[in-house]
Amino acid sequence: MKKFGWFCIFLFLFSPFFSYGDGIAFGVYGRNLYPVENDSIKLVSELLKMHQDILDVKTHCWYLLRNITNNPQDLKIGFYIGDSIIYYPLFTKDDLKVYVDGEETDYQNKIIKDTTIQEIYYGIWDMSFLPNESKMVYVEQTLIWTSARGGDNFLYELQLANKWAGKPERIEVYYDFGNENSRNDDSWFTNFSINDTIWAISKSIDIKPKGYKSINQKELKWVFENTDSIGNIIINVVLFGEIPNLENILSNFSEEYYPTAYRADKELFSEKDMKCWYNHMLIDKLNDISLEKLKEIKNQYEVYKIIYKYYPAFLRNLIYAMHGYKFKNELWKDAFSKCKWYEPKDDFNESDFNTFERKNIEFIIEYEKNIDEYLKTLE
Question: Is the same domain home to 42 and 171?
Answer: yes
Question: Is the same domain home to 318 and 221?
Answer: no
Last residue of a domain, one of 196, 223, 239: 239
Question: Is the same domain home to 217 and 254?
Answer: no
Question: Is the same domain home to 30 and 164?
Answer: yes
The predicted structure's pLDDT at residue 21: 27
Contact between 167 and 227 under an 8 Å Cβ cutoff? The reply is: yes
CA distances to 30, 156, 175, 183 from 50, in Å: 10, 10, 5, 17
Which pairs count as long-range contacts for 329-337, CB under 8 Å and 24+ apart, including other chains?
A: 331/246, 331/250, 334/247, 335/247, 335/250, 335/251, 335/253, 335/254, 336/254
* Cβ neighbourhood burial of 20 (10 Å; 0-12, 13-18, 19+): middle
CA torsion, points 95, 99, 105, 107, in degrees to nearest 10? -50
Question: Is the same domain home to 361 and 311?
Answer: yes
Contact between 209 and 231 under an 8 Å Cβ cutoff? The reply is: yes
Question: Is the same domain home to 97 and 168?
Answer: yes
Residues 6+ apart with CB under 8 A from 210: none
The predicted structure's pLDDT at residue 224: 94
Question: Is the same domain home to 228 and 353?
Answer: no
CA distances to 27, 34, 67, 229 from 114, in Å: 19, 15, 29, 22
The predicted structure's pLDDT at residue 15: 31
The predicted structure's pLDDT at residue 121: 80
Question: Is the same domain home to 106 and 222?
Answer: yes
The predicted structure's pLDDT at residue 151: 54
The predicted structure's pLDDT at residue 193: 53
The predicted structure's pLDDT at residue 190: 45
The predicted structure's pLDDT at residue 25: 33
**Distance from CA of residue 309 to its chain's centroid?**
30
330-337 vs 246-256: helix axis angle to the nearest 10? 50
Last residue of a domain, one of 193, 223, 239: 239
The one-letter code for the residue type at 153 is N
Question: pLDDT per position in the chain (379 positions), as tens?
Answer: 433 343 333 333 323 222 222 223 334 567 788 887 778 999 999 999 998 876 678 889 999 999 999 999 999 988 877 776 655 556 666 667 899 999 999 888 777 665 655 677 888 899 999 999 999 999 988 777 665 444 567 788 887 877 888 889 999 999 887 765 444 443 444 445 555 455 545 566 778 888 888 887 778 899 999 988 888 888 876 666 667 888 888 887 877 677 778 999 999 999 989 988 766 667 666 666 677 777 777 778 888 899 999 999 999 999 999 999 999 999 999 999 988 899 999 999 999 999 999 999 999 999 999 999 999 888 7
Question: Is the same domain home to 230 and 252?
Answer: no
Contact between 21 and 43 under an 8 Å Cβ cutoff? The reply is: no
C-alpha closest to that of 63 among 11, 26, 107, 20: 11
CATH number reported for the structural domain that contains residue 32 in this entry: 2.60.40.3680
Q: Can you tell me the distance from the alpha carbon of 66 to that of 43, in angstroms, rounded to the nearest whole number? A: 7
Q: Can you tell me the distance from the alpha carbon of 134 to that of 98, in angstroms, rounded to the nearest whole number? A: 17
Q: Can you tell me the distance from the alpha carbon of 104 to that of 126, in angstroms, rounded to the nearest whole number? A: 13
How many domains does the structure of the chain reveal? 2
Question: Is the same domain home to 227 and 314?
Answer: no
Question: Is the same domain home to 67 and 209?
Answer: yes
Question: Is the same domain home to 127 and 173?
Answer: yes
Domain of 188 in residue numbering reads as 2-239
Last residue of a domain, one of 216, 239, 262: 239
